[in-house]
Amino acid sequence: MPMQPAIALLEFDSIAVGIETGDAMVKRAPLDVIKAGTVHPGKYLVLIGGRVADVEEALDAGRSTGAGHLIDEMLLPDVHDDVVAALVGGRESGTGEALGIVETTTVAAIIEAADAGVKGASVTLREIRMADGLGGKGYLLFSGPVAEVEAAVEIGTGRVDEQVVASRVIAQIHEEMDENLLDDGRFRKLLKDGS
């Protein structure tokens, strides 16, 4: 996904409504990006990107069309480059004195928390994991100096307070635990690979 000045995401509890809504959104305004599809557990996500005014216009169409089935939404009018990189699967290796973890109930919330945290503190956004294999939840990992990681976690969770499942800051994470985080993170895969 190329860099966009604005992105928005709508998260639905109905696949049919999600597809209809994505169609209404792309018909309402010219968008540079529309990505849509299913995630666990039976949710449908629509991610759009483009100029701020166009994204806002399409988002309004999405809210209207998907009303009653919208679980969560987010709009980032000036999305941070690190968030875009993490959304397409970019992962950063562990660096820094501390690891920050934020876990949310929705995909929209974890993206919003990541953007707020990385903009508000001098941290590395190591990874964003979304929905699949997580029961629809999301989590992110920040790393950096302890005070900066604490700030990023506080800012990120403060932005999406109602959707936060848990958050933690771990100073000096053990090397073996950090190696597990650098892998896929899925327990069965770790066992299967014998790592």
Instruction: Give the tens place of pLDDT for each residue, 55-82.
Output: 999 999 999 999 999 999 999 999 999 9
Dist. CA 186–CA 141, nearest whole Å: 15
In the chain, which segments carry CATH 3.30.70.1710?
6-76, 90-193
Across all residues in the chain, what is the average pLDDT? 91
Confidence band of 90 (pLDDT split at 50, 70, 90): confident
Report pLDDT digits (tens) over 174-186.
Answer: 888 888 787 766 5
Comparing 51 with 177, the larger pLDDT belongs to 51
Nearest CA to 70 out of 46, 52, 86 is that of: 46
2 vs 149: which has the higher pLDDT:
149
pLDDT number for residue 195:
47
The residues that bridge with 93 in the sheet, in sequence order, are: none
Q: Which residue has the tokens 């959707």?
A: 163
* Residue 30, pLDDT above cutoff 50: yes
Q: Is the pLDDT of residue 18 over 80?
A: yes
Contacts of 192 (CB under 8 A, 6+ apart): none
Cis peptide before 41 (omega within 30 of 0): yes
pLDDT of residue 33: 92
pLDDT, average across residues 24-30: 97
Q: Contact 74/55 with Cβ under 8 angstroms?
A: no
Q: Which fold has domain 6-76?
A: Alpha-Beta Plaits (3.30.70)
Compute the C-alpha angle 68/72/74, nearest 5°: 130
CA dihedral 131, 136, 141, 142 (to 10 degrees): 110
4 vs 38: which has the higher pLDDT:
38
At 65, give phi and psi (nearest 5°). Answer: -70, -40
In this prediction the pTM is 0.91
Q: Torsion over CA of 158, 162, 166 and 169, rounded to 10 degrees?
A: 0
Helices within the chain (DSSP H only): 15-28, 52-65, 81-87, 107-120, 146-159, 175-182, 187-193
Class level of CATH domain 90-193: alpha beta
Phi and psi, residue 49, nearest 5°: -150, 150
Q: Tell me the pLDDT tens digit for each residue of 116-136.
A: 999 999 999 999 999 888 889
Query: How far is 9 from 72, CA to CA, in rounded Å?
Result: 8
pLDDT at 177: 86
Is residue 153 predicted with pLDDT exceeding 60?
Answer: yes
